[in-house]
Amino acid sequence: MTDLPTITTFAWVPEFARGFVRDIRPRWACEEVGQAYRVNLIRDAKTPDHRRFQPFGQVPAYRDDAVEIFESGAMVLRIAERAGGPLLPADPALRFKAVQWLVAALNTIEPVVMGLVVNDVFERDTPWSAERHPTALSYLELRLAELQADLGNKPWLDGDVFTVGDLMMVSVLGGLRGMDVLGRFPALAAYVARGEDRPAHRKAMADHLAVFAAPAAA
Amino acid sequence: MTDLPTITTFAWVPEFARGFVRDIRPRWACEEVGQAYRVNLIRDAKTPDHRRFQPFGQVPAYRDDAVEIFESGAMVLRIAERAGGPLLPADPALRFKAVQWLVAALNTIEPVVMGLVVNDVFERDTPWSAERHPTALSYLELRLAELQADLGNKPWLDGDVFTVGDLMMVSVLGGLRGMDVLGRFPALAAYVARGEDRPAHRKAMADHLAVFAAPAAA
């Protein structure tokens, strides 16, 4: 038993999902604030035991000495608030800008990212996928153009300081890795690359991927 | 000029959108905590002026004496935190459960609610809408069944106390008003009715609708 925060996630996922599972988000937040954590690996998120903790049968889930939650957006806020520091600034004006961008990533950008992924990947073998692709793509491109215009020449969404809003936006846009759409928005692509190149993200991603590189346990 | 918080929203929307615009969310939060506010009505959210404040050209937007933000999820958190009280409990264990449910409403439930609305309403005249309907419906029904199982016999998601998580979840599920899917989940339908019947919601919805009942200004 330990007092370290615990992130619960999958012991194994298919190759196409590696690098995309949302445990990367709380891992990344922990690395940004220098918070050690342990990982609880599960094989099945649909069990009654896990559902008592995560009713939608998903990962990740998170516990620390005081809090037990699911939803990666809530975890990132918790990890940042618990640590203090610039990831979630104390000043309300700056803090709620960071919260605003985190919510924008989850509620304005991620639905159109996932909308294209669902159409092109999960619904690939349906009769409508190819025909519907331009429509799903147009929803996404509209938001990416607006986001890129707002980002302008700033390194991060609110200027010079990397916050939970950037962490979540970079992670959400990272869902487009391997598709060609982000390349048509060069300033956004550079923003995502800048975020993914942070030492904390590189460490989090490496630790996420290392789980699947290990010999499978029985 | 006044020091009251200001919610910016539309002076006019088409009839089908009335009762659904997201300014209801910060209005409702203000009513729950007894915070007076003023409303700034605009006719067009795509102007450069408004986009400097809301880069996606949407409503609502929100300002108070310290904070200027968009994203209704961030506004509800700001209004609740600024007021103190049970809508966003001070105790971290309870507070982050409330945040978790607010994020679940925005990132797990709203995408599948809007997925069905987009398919059935916005894409109604496409060749694929009717054929794709059962797929979009199945994504939604899966999450509604899981949410209903977790709600069980509790009045609110975390038990006896209505929080920002319930406010957001009721508002998101309210997006299904006029469709028949919620009726197949009677405990969830009762939960939504319970939320919408709160005096604060009734006041917020009445004030939202009253804007469109007024004679149109030139």
Which residues of B fall within a CB distance of 8 Å from A115?
Answer: 111, 115
- The pLDDT-based confidence of B122 (bands split at 50, 70, 90) is very high
Across residues B58-74, what is the average pLDDT?
97
Chain B residues with CB-CB distance to A135 below 8 A: 123, 126
Same domain assignment for residues A120 and A47:
no
| pLDDT value at B152 more than 70 | yes
Q: What is the pLDDT of residue A178?
A: 85
Residues A178-189: tens digit of each pLDDT: 889 999 999 999
Those residues of chain B whose CB sits closer than 8 Å to some CB in chain A are 51, 55-58, 66-71, 73-74, 77-78, 92-93, 96-97, 99-100, 102-104, 106-108, 110-111, 114-115, 123, 126-128, 131-132, 135, 143, 146-147, 149-150
Best of A69, A75, A76, A138 to disrupt the B interface by mutation (most B CBs within 10 Å)? Answer: A69
Tokens 């692709």 map to which residue?
A: A133
Do B82 and B96 fall within a single domain? no
CATH number of the domain enclosing A77: 3.40.30.10
The answer to whether B71 contacts A108, with C-beta atoms less than 8 Å apart, is: yes
Question: What integer pLDDT is reported at residue A8 of this predicted model?
Answer: 97
- Separation in Å, CA of B32 to nearest CA in chain A: 20
Average pLDDT of B162-168?
Answer: 98
CB atoms within 10 A of CB A30: 25
Task: For residues B75 and B98, state if they share a domain.
Answer: no
Residue B193 belongs to a domain: yes
* Same domain, residue pair B50 and B38: yes
* pLDDT interval class at B50 (50, 70, 90): very high
> For chain B, what is the mean pLDDT?
95
Task: Kindly list the residues from chain B whose CB atom is less than 8 angstroms away from the CB atom of residue A78.
Answer: 92, 96, 99
The pLDDT of B155-160, averaged and rounded, is 96
Can you give the pLDDT at residue B178? 85
CA B217 remoteness from chain centre: 27
Residue B1 lies in a domain: no
Residue of A nearest to B144 (CA): A56
User: Is residue B178 included in any domain, yes or no?
Assistant: yes
Read off the tokens for B148: 């209903």
Domain that holds residue A186: 92-197
Which chain A residues are within 8 Å of B185, Cβ to Cβ?
A: none
Q: Which two tokens stand for residue A30?
A: 């922990």
What's the rounded Cα separation, in Å, for the pair B25 and B21? Answer: 9
Which of B78, B114, B127 lies closest to A96 in CB terms? Answer: B78
Specify the pLDDT at position A3. Answer: 87
pLDDT for residue B1 = 46
Output the pLDDT for position A106.
98
Give domain status of residue B54, yes or no: yes
Task: Give the pLDDT band of residue B215 (cuts 50, 70, 90).
Answer: low
Instruction: Provide the token pair at B201.
Output: 């919601």
pLDDT at B51: 94
CB pairs under 8 A between A and B: 117
Radius of gyration for the alpha carbons in chain B, expressed in angstroms and rounded: 18
Q: Are residues A114 and A146 in the same domain?
A: yes
Residue of A nearest to B126 (CA): A132
**B14-43 exposure pattern, b = at least 16 Cβ within 10 A, e = fewer:** eeeebbebbbbbbbbbbbbbebebebeeee
Pair (A79, A98) in one structural domain? no
Mean pLDDT to the nearest integer, B121-133:
97
Contact assessment for residue A144 and residue B56, using Cβ atoms and an 8 Å cutoff: no
On whether residue B218 sits in a domain, the answer given is no
Indicate if B97 and B108 belong to the same structural domain.
Answer: yes
Are residues B192 and B96 part of one domain?
yes
* B125 in the same domain as B34: no
When divided into structural domains, chain B yields a total of 2
Q: Is residue B56 part of a domain?
A: yes
Domain identity same for B185 and B209: no
B193/B97 same-domain check: yes
Q: What is the pLDDT of residue A1?
A: 46
- B96 inside domain: yes
Helix (H, G, I), strand (E, B) or coil at B39: strand
Integer CA distances (angstroms), B51 to A102, B47, B56, B57, B61, in order: 18, 6, 7, 5, 10
Are both B37 and B130 inside the same structural domain?
no
CA distance A197 to chain B (A): 26
- Tens of pLDDT, residue by residue over B169-181, are 999 999 999 889 9
Residues of chain A under the 50 pLDDT cut: 1, 218
Average confidence (pLDDT) over B62-91: 97
Domain annotation covers residue B170: yes
**Pairwise CB contact (< 8 Å): B146 & A104:** no
As a three-state string, the secondary structure of A13-73 is: CCHHHCCCCCCHHHHHHHHHHCCCCEEEEECCCCCHHHHCCCCCCCCCEEECCCCEEECHH
